[in-house]
Protein backbone atom coordinates (compact mmCIF):
# COMPACT_ATOMS: atom_id res chain seq x y z
CA UNK A 1 0.00 0.00 0.00
CA UNK A 2 1.46 3.36 -1.07
CA UNK A 3 1.16 6.43 1.14
CA UNK A 4 2.55 8.75 -1.53
CA UNK A 5 -0.36 8.63 -3.97
CA UNK A 6 -4.10 9.01 -3.74
CA UNK A 7 -6.15 5.81 -4.03
CA UNK A 8 -9.50 6.23 -5.77
CA UNK A 9 -10.88 3.15 -3.99
CA UNK A 10 -10.22 4.70 -0.57
CA UNK A 11 -11.87 7.95 -1.67
CA UNK A 12 -14.92 6.07 -2.96
CA UNK A 13 -15.23 4.08 0.27
CA UNK A 14 -15.11 7.33 2.23
CA UNK A 15 -17.80 8.79 -0.02
CA UNK A 16 -19.99 5.71 0.41
CA UNK A 17 -19.66 5.99 4.18
CA UNK A 18 -20.53 9.69 3.99
CA UNK A 19 -23.59 8.91 1.86
CA UNK A 20 -24.85 6.41 4.44
CA UNK A 21 -24.35 8.94 7.22
CA UNK A 22 -26.30 11.59 5.30
CA UNK A 23 -29.14 9.18 4.50
CA UNK A 24 -29.36 8.06 8.12
CA UNK A 25 -29.39 11.61 9.44
CA UNK A 26 -31.38 13.29 6.65
CA UNK A 27 -33.33 10.61 4.76
CA UNK A 28 -34.65 11.71 1.38
CA UNK A 29 -32.60 14.92 1.37
CA UNK A 30 -31.21 16.48 -1.79
CA UNK A 31 -27.74 16.39 -0.27
CA UNK A 32 -27.84 12.59 -0.13
CA UNK A 33 -28.68 12.52 -3.85
CA UNK A 34 -25.72 14.75 -4.63
CA UNK A 35 -23.44 12.49 -2.58
CA UNK A 36 -24.82 9.42 -4.39
CA UNK A 37 -23.99 11.07 -7.72
CA UNK A 38 -20.49 11.86 -6.46
CA UNK A 39 -20.03 8.20 -5.49
CA UNK A 40 -21.02 7.12 -9.01
CA UNK A 41 -18.53 9.56 -10.53
CA UNK A 42 -15.81 8.46 -8.11
CA UNK A 43 -16.24 4.82 -9.14
CA UNK A 44 -15.29 5.79 -12.69
CA UNK A 45 -12.59 8.37 -11.97
CA UNK A 46 -9.61 6.07 -11.51
CA UNK A 47 -10.23 4.23 -14.76
CA UNK A 48 -10.96 7.49 -16.59
CA UNK A 49 -7.81 9.18 -15.31
CA UNK A 50 -5.63 6.19 -16.18
CA UNK A 51 -7.24 5.87 -19.61
CA UNK A 52 -6.54 9.53 -20.37
CA UNK A 53 -2.92 9.27 -19.20
CA UNK A 54 -2.25 6.06 -21.18
CA UNK A 55 -0.24 6.37 -24.43
CA UNK A 56 -2.29 7.00 -27.56
CA UNK A 57 -1.23 3.97 -29.60
CA UNK A 58 -2.38 5.17 -33.08
CA UNK A 59 -0.56 8.48 -32.60
CA UNK A 60 2.56 6.71 -31.31
CA UNK A 61 2.52 4.45 -34.41
CA UNK A 62 2.16 7.50 -36.66
CA UNK A 63 5.08 9.10 -34.80
CA UNK A 64 7.32 6.07 -35.38
CA UNK A 65 6.32 5.96 -39.05
CA UNK A 66 7.21 9.64 -39.41
CA UNK A 67 10.59 9.05 -37.76
CA UNK A 68 11.27 6.02 -40.00
CA UNK A 69 10.28 7.97 -43.12
CA UNK A 70 12.61 10.80 -42.10
CA UNK A 71 15.52 8.41 -41.63
CA UNK A 72 14.83 6.72 -44.98
CA UNK A 73 14.62 10.08 -46.72
CA UNK A 74 17.87 11.31 -45.22
CA UNK A 75 19.64 8.06 -46.14
CA UNK A 76 18.36 8.34 -49.71
CA UNK A 77 19.53 11.94 -49.98
CA UNK A 78 22.88 11.01 -48.44
CA UNK A 79 23.42 8.27 -51.03
CA UNK A 80 22.51 10.72 -53.81
CA UNK A 81 24.90 13.36 -52.50
CA UNK A 82 27.71 10.78 -52.26
CA UNK A 83 27.17 9.78 -55.88
CA UNK A 84 27.17 13.42 -56.94
CA UNK A 85 30.41 14.02 -55.06
CA UNK A 86 31.93 11.01 -56.78
CA UNK A 87 31.14 12.50 -60.21
CA UNK A 88 32.19 16.00 -59.05
CA UNK A 89 28.78 17.55 -59.80
CA UNK A 90 28.80 20.47 -57.35
CA UNK A 91 25.33 21.71 -58.27
CA UNK A 92 23.85 18.30 -57.57
CA UNK A 93 25.53 18.25 -54.16
CA UNK A 94 23.91 21.57 -53.24
CA UNK A 95 20.54 20.21 -54.35
CA UNK A 96 21.03 17.15 -52.15
CA UNK A 97 21.93 19.27 -49.13
CA UNK A 98 18.89 21.47 -49.70
CA UNK A 99 16.65 18.40 -49.98
CA UNK A 100 18.05 17.02 -46.73
CA UNK A 101 17.40 20.33 -44.99
CA UNK A 102 13.81 20.36 -46.27
CA UNK A 103 13.26 16.82 -45.04
CA UNK A 104 14.58 17.71 -41.58
CA UNK A 105 12.34 20.80 -41.35
CA UNK A 106 9.21 19.02 -42.55
CA UNK A 107 9.89 15.97 -40.37
CA UNK A 108 10.46 18.19 -37.33
CA UNK A 109 7.17 19.98 -37.92
CA UNK A 110 5.32 16.67 -38.34
CA UNK A 111 6.88 15.18 -35.21
CA UNK A 112 6.06 18.28 -33.15
CA UNK A 113 2.47 18.19 -34.41
CA UNK A 114 2.02 14.51 -33.51
CA UNK A 115 3.57 14.88 -30.05
CA UNK A 116 1.60 18.02 -29.22
CA UNK A 117 -1.59 16.47 -30.62
CA UNK A 118 -1.47 13.65 -28.07
CA UNK A 119 -0.94 16.17 -25.27
CA UNK A 120 -3.83 18.33 -26.49
CA UNK A 121 -6.18 15.35 -26.70
CA UNK A 122 -5.33 14.22 -23.16
CA UNK A 123 -5.64 17.76 -21.85
CA UNK A 124 -9.03 18.31 -23.49
CA UNK A 125 -10.43 15.07 -22.06
CA UNK A 126 -9.10 15.87 -18.59
CA UNK A 127 -10.50 19.41 -18.60
CA UNK A 128 -13.89 18.10 -19.70
CA UNK A 129 -14.00 15.71 -16.73
CA UNK A 130 -12.65 18.31 -14.29
CA UNK A 131 -15.44 20.70 -15.25
CA UNK A 132 -17.86 18.18 -13.69
CA UNK A 133 -16.16 18.55 -10.30
CA UNK A 134 -16.35 22.33 -10.48
CA UNK A 135 -20.08 22.08 -11.19
CA UNK A 136 -20.66 19.64 -8.32
CA UNK A 137 -18.82 21.96 -5.93
CA UNK A 138 -21.28 24.73 -6.81
CA UNK A 139 -24.23 22.35 -6.40
CA UNK A 140 -23.02 21.46 -2.89
CA UNK A 141 -22.68 25.16 -2.13
CA UNK A 142 -26.27 25.74 -3.23
CA UNK A 143 -27.47 23.12 -0.72
CA UNK A 144 -25.81 24.90 2.20
CA UNK A 145 -26.67 28.39 0.99
CA UNK A 146 -29.99 28.66 2.84
CA UNK A 147 -28.71 26.91 5.98
CA UNK A 148 -28.50 30.11 8.00
CA UNK A 149 -27.22 29.92 11.61
CA UNK A 150 -29.44 32.86 12.53
CA UNK A 151 -32.46 30.58 12.19
CA UNK A 152 -31.48 28.77 15.39
CA UNK A 153 -30.16 31.71 17.39
CA UNK A 154 -33.35 33.70 17.66
CA UNK A 155 -33.65 35.54 14.34
CA UNK A 156 -37.23 36.41 13.36
CA UNK A 157 -38.09 34.98 9.90
CA UNK A 158 -39.91 37.00 7.26
CA UNK A 159 -42.81 35.86 5.11
CA UNK A 160 -40.40 34.99 2.30
CA UNK A 161 -37.85 33.19 4.46
CA UNK A 162 -37.24 29.54 3.49
CA UNK A 163 -38.66 26.90 5.80
CA UNK A 164 -36.07 25.86 8.36
CA UNK A 165 -36.80 22.87 10.54
CA UNK A 166 -33.30 21.88 11.72
CA UNK A 167 -32.14 22.43 15.26
CA UNK A 168 -28.62 23.57 16.09
CA UNK A 169 -27.12 20.06 16.15
CA UNK A 170 -28.74 18.98 12.86
CA UNK A 171 -27.68 22.18 11.13
CA UNK A 172 -24.10 21.70 12.30
CA UNK A 173 -24.05 18.11 11.01
CA UNK A 174 -25.56 19.16 7.65
CA UNK A 175 -22.93 21.86 7.17
CA UNK A 176 -20.16 19.46 8.19
CA UNK A 177 -21.37 16.93 5.59
CA UNK A 178 -21.23 19.65 2.93
CA UNK A 179 -17.66 20.50 3.92
CA UNK A 180 -16.63 16.84 3.73
CA UNK A 181 -18.18 16.47 0.28
CA UNK A 182 -16.29 19.52 -0.98
CA UNK A 183 -13.01 18.08 0.30
CA UNK A 184 -13.64 14.69 -1.33
CA UNK A 185 -14.65 16.39 -4.59
CA UNK A 186 -11.25 18.05 -4.62
CA UNK A 187 -9.51 14.73 -3.94
CA UNK A 188 -11.25 13.10 -6.91
CA UNK A 189 -10.13 15.97 -9.13
CA UNK A 190 -6.55 15.58 -7.85
CA UNK A 191 -6.43 12.06 -9.33
CA UNK A 192 -6.25 13.62 -12.81
CA UNK A 193 -3.18 15.68 -11.93
CA UNK A 194 -1.65 12.62 -10.28
CA UNK A 195 -2.01 10.53 -13.45
CA UNK A 196 -1.36 13.34 -15.96
CA UNK A 197 1.06 15.98 -14.62
CA UNK A 198 0.32 18.40 -17.47
CA UNK A 199 0.78 22.07 -16.48
CA UNK A 200 -2.73 23.08 -17.60
CA UNK A 201 -4.37 20.09 -15.90
CA UNK A 202 -2.43 20.71 -12.66
CA UNK A 203 -3.45 24.38 -12.65
CA UNK A 204 -7.09 23.44 -13.24
CA UNK A 205 -6.96 21.00 -10.31
CA UNK A 206 -5.38 23.73 -8.17
CA UNK A 207 -8.20 26.05 -9.20
CA UNK A 208 -10.78 23.47 -8.10
CA UNK A 209 -8.91 23.12 -4.80
CA UNK A 210 -9.05 26.88 -4.26
CA UNK A 211 -12.76 26.87 -5.09
CA UNK A 212 -13.63 24.03 -2.70
CA UNK A 213 -11.44 25.52 0.04
CA UNK A 214 -13.14 28.91 -0.24
CA UNK A 215 -16.61 27.33 -0.21
CA UNK A 216 -15.66 25.18 2.77
CA UNK A 217 -14.38 28.27 4.61
CA UNK A 218 -17.82 29.86 4.28
CA UNK A 219 -19.37 26.71 5.73
CA UNK A 220 -17.01 26.67 8.69
CA UNK A 221 -17.82 30.29 9.43
CA UNK A 222 -21.42 29.17 9.91
CA UNK A 223 -20.34 26.22 12.07
CA UNK A 224 -18.25 28.58 14.20
CA UNK A 225 -21.29 30.80 14.73
CA UNK A 226 -23.34 27.78 15.78
CA UNK A 227 -20.60 26.60 18.18
CA UNK A 228 -20.40 30.08 19.70
CA UNK A 229 -24.18 30.17 20.11
CA UNK A 230 -24.14 26.74 21.76
CA UNK A 231 -21.40 27.84 24.15
CA UNK A 232 -23.31 30.99 25.02
CA UNK A 233 -26.50 29.01 25.61
CA UNK A 234 -24.63 26.55 27.84
CA UNK A 235 -23.10 29.38 29.84
CA UNK A 236 -26.50 31.03 30.26
CA UNK A 237 -27.99 27.73 31.41
CA UNK A 238 -25.23 27.24 33.97
CA UNK A 239 -25.77 30.74 35.30
CA UNK A 240 -29.51 30.21 35.62
CA UNK A 241 -28.95 26.97 37.54
CA UNK A 242 -26.53 28.70 39.88
CA UNK A 243 -29.20 31.29 40.73
CA UNK A 244 -28.61 34.90 41.71
CA UNK A 245 -25.46 35.75 43.60
CA UNK A 246 -25.83 36.40 47.34
CA UNK A 247 -24.24 39.49 48.81
pLDDT at residue 26, rounded to an integer: 93
pLDDT at residue 113, rounded to an integer: 72
Cβ-based neighbours of 78, under 8 Å, separated by 6 or more = 96, 100
For helices 168-195 and 199-242, the axis angle rounded to 10 degrees is 160
| 3-state secondary structure string across 168-213 | HHHHHHHHHHHHHHHHHHHHHHHHHHHHCCCHHHHHHHHHHHHHHH
pLDDT at residue 156, rounded to an integer: 62
pLDDT at residue 148, rounded to an integer: 80
pLDDT at residue 22, rounded to an integer: 95
**Which alpha helices (H) appear in 88-198, and where do they start and end?**
90-145, 168-195
pLDDT at residue 40, rounded to an integer: 92
pLDDT at residue 60, rounded to an integer: 72
Domain positions in the chain are 8-154+165-232
Cβ-based neighbours of 181, under 8 Å, separated by 6 or more = 18, 31, 34, 35, 38, 140
- Flag whether the pTM goes above 0.95: no
All residue ranges of the chain with pLDDT < 50 are 86-87, 247
Whole-angstrom distance, CA of residue 112 vs CA of residue 118? 10
Amino acid sequence: MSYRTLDANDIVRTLQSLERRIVERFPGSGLSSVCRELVAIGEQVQERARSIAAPNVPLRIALFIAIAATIVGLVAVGITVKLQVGTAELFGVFQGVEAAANIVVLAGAALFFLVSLETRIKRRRSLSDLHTFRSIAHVIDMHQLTKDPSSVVGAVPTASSPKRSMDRFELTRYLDYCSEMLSLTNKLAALYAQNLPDAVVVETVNDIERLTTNLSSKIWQKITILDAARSAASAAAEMSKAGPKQD
